[in-house]
Amino acid sequence: MYGLGIAKGMIVTFKHLFRKPFTVQYPEEVVPRGSRFRGYEFTWYEDRCTGCASCAKYCPLGTINIVTHPEGDPKQGMDYAIDIFDIDTGRCMFCGLCVEACPYEAIQAGGPLDDATYDFESLYRDKHKLTEMAQEHLHGHDFTYPNGKQAPQPDEKPLHIGLPVERDRTR
């Protein structure tokens, strides 16, 4: 029948006219993402990191590079000072094994999503760049880590992490 197609089309149009839109005004609005979302960048928190290198050992692509040296008084207990902590995110497949392997929650999945670049070199992040990204994340999220736990405020003493932290396995 002549006009039937137009009528059907208008019915569909009117049905959607009063529905809540699925789209959001990105980048002003961002769709909430689940806690198991794996598309994020990493953030790394130097104050939590002991330099144990578990993350680097578990990375199947050898993307994380760590160099440390022992420091402290052998009588009081030694620590590792972190000389180099690099992540070559251009090679990373975001499997999250490094995040799982870290006993201190020093490396976490969560960070910027909008950092596409034409400059391949900028995907190589050293500890200074990673710290800058971590600080940006904390300042933009009321000093909450990506895993939802509270981070120390800037005027508080940085956390001294002596023991592995209890993991929330639902994340």
**Where on the chain is the footprint of ligand SF4 (CB under 6 A)?**
49-55, 58-59, 61, 63-64, 66, 87, 92-98, 101-102, 104, 106-107
The closest of 29, 48, 22, 54 to 138, measured between CA atoms, is 48
Nearest distance from C-beta of residue 21 to ligand SF4, angstroms: 34
The burial of 171, by beta-carbon neighbours within 10 Å (0-12 exposed, 13-18 middle, 19 or more buried), is given as middle
Is the Cβ of residue 27 or residue 34 nearer to ligand SF4 in the bound state?
34
Is the Cβ of residue 82 or residue 143 nearer to ligand SF4 in the bound state?
82
Is the Cβ of residue 8 or residue 91 nearer to ligand SF4 in the bound state?
91
Is the Cβ of residue 52 or residue 113 nearer to ligand SF4 in the bound state?
52
Q: What is the dihedral of CA 63, 102, 85, 151, to 10 degrees?
A: 130
Nearest distance from C-beta of residue 109 to ligand SF4, angstroms: 8
Q: Please say whether the beta carbons of 111 and 43 come within 8 A.
A: yes
Nearest distance from C-beta of residue 53 to ligand SF4, angstroms: 5
d(CA 87, CA 128): 11
Structure tokens at 126: 């050293």
Nearest distance from C-beta of residue 163 to ligand SF4, angstroms: 12
